[in-house]
Amino acid sequence: MPSLDFDGDYGRSYRKSIQDSIPGHDVLHEIARAAIRSTSSDAQQVLVVGPGPGDELPELLNACGDAALTVLEPSELMLEQCRKTLSNHPGSSRCRLLPCSLNEALGGELNGARFDLVVCHNVLHLLPSEEQNAMLRELTQCTADGGVLLLSAYSEAEDDESQREVFQVAWQRLINRDVPQDRLEKIRDSRNNVVFSLAASRVAAVLKEAGWRSPLQLYQGLFIRLWLCRAEGAITG
């Protein structure tokens, strides 16, 4: 199965290409920052899964001023960019960077760890549908009682006609942004081959199975969604 090369050309051009491939990328992160400040500013333990170059990490340190951040990023190139992003931040000493996936971390150094806030942007759609359930369960398992999971992903409408309409608008947006034809073809060919839709019903089903509240959709920009998910119970120290 093909994949996005985060340690190659894709990773080196990530900050530019993400603006084309994720509609409303900056708005999504603006809303995510507001959600973190409104729900989790007192978090003590924060987990960030797959932050890419780590552009959201400085604001996360600002928003959760007493928190220790654990960052999981399997790409060495992305991890190095995270280090550069954090290098001049006064709270960088509160941030631990681990070169691994969530599954690897929970099977090792983070076995049994629980976090008041878990942030996972644009990672789940890199997994085929049969693997998405497993990662969603892992995300719920490492979130503390009463904690918050902030989740975003590519998520198609679940009826074909609506998705066709959305895709046509999204395609025209890329044309309007003067995306080259060869990149348009790569984006088209990646759909459910490299990037896989995370169905809203799948998120809701896994949270229900875990005894969580229904996810709250905070934002949708064409086929990108942002959910605020909260575990039942009181946050433990």
Say if 54 falls within a structural domain. yes
Structural domain boundaries enclosing 201: 9-230
Say if 161 falls within a structural domain. yes
CATH code for position 197: 3.40.50.150
Count Cβ atoms below 10 Å from residue 9 Cβ, excluding itself. 9
Count Cβ atoms below 10 Å from residue 48 Cβ, excluding itself. 24
pLDDT of residue 3: 59
pLDDT of residue 166: 92
pLDDT of residue 234: 57
Classified as helix, coil or strand, 234 is coil
Q: What is the pTM of this model?
A: 0.92
Q: Which two tokens stand for residue 227?
A: 């959910």
Q: What is the pLDDT along the chain (237 residues), one digit of tens a residue?
A: 345 788 888 788 888 888 878 889 999 999 999 999 999 999 999 999 999 999 999 999 999 999 999 999 999 999 999 999 999 999 999 999 999 999 999 999 999 999 999 999 999 999 998 899 999 999 999 999 999 999 999 999 989 899 899 999 999 999 999 989 988 888 888 888 889 999 999 999 999 999 999 999 999 999 999 999 999 875 544
Say if 4 falls within a structural domain. no
How many independent structural domains does the chain possess? 1
pLDDT of residue 2: 46
pLDDT of residue 6: 86
What length does the chain have? 237
Classified as helix, coil or strand, 176 is helix
Say if 219 falls within a structural domain. yes
Say if 144 falls within a structural domain. yes
pLDDT of residue 141: 96
